[in-house]
Structure 1
């Protein structure tokens, strides 16, 4: 078997990535820079989860267009796309579960806030050094 034949599925799966559509959505992870405390691992996981979700959508679109409707020339076999969808879904679910665990009540307690009691320092009627910017 020649190397080009072996790499054809990888090239086909790579061609499904459309940076024009993925970059703005993945860029939403930059919103983590606006958080009161910066946790780089959560921002990176969020970006990867968004990218995985979009990749799944693009894979399904390729599958439907090429293999169901026959509108496009298939770049990847049906089996390879189904496998890629399964793997990307597992990655997405793993990242989402990890984000839920990291950002849930345990994360808030660790950083000094309790669930449902987060208030702005500007609400206080008494001026103090911590809210003099209000």
Structure 2
């Protein structure tokens, strides 16, 4: 089952929940005599972005989509740092995957340290792909 954190890269910065996040979105609706109906609209799309307001239905915390995305990224980075455990620093891991230009690029991000390198890998490859590479690494 896909969780919101993985599907949308968001979770509540306060309580960590990701299954009841509400986002204020621009929605097209058809006006009717009894109100409005989004399903009847010719353009039934909805739009939201990093500046859209967000609210956690579990704890009531509010912020922007960007705030909720940053919280999810921080949690994913912590999970991967923990997963690395005894395998060494990400640059050691990256050296073993230098054949991939994206990983070679990431190994150049030394100023910010371990967390920045992992955050970069998540952005380039996605959380699950990086987790799988770490788990399969037999250095």
TM-score normalised by length of structure 1:
0.27
Q: Which protein has greater RCO, CA pairs closer than 8 Å, 6+ apart? A: 1
Q: Greater strand share, 1 or 2?
A: 2
Greater gyration radius: 1
What is the TM-score with the length of structure 2 in the denominator? 0.26
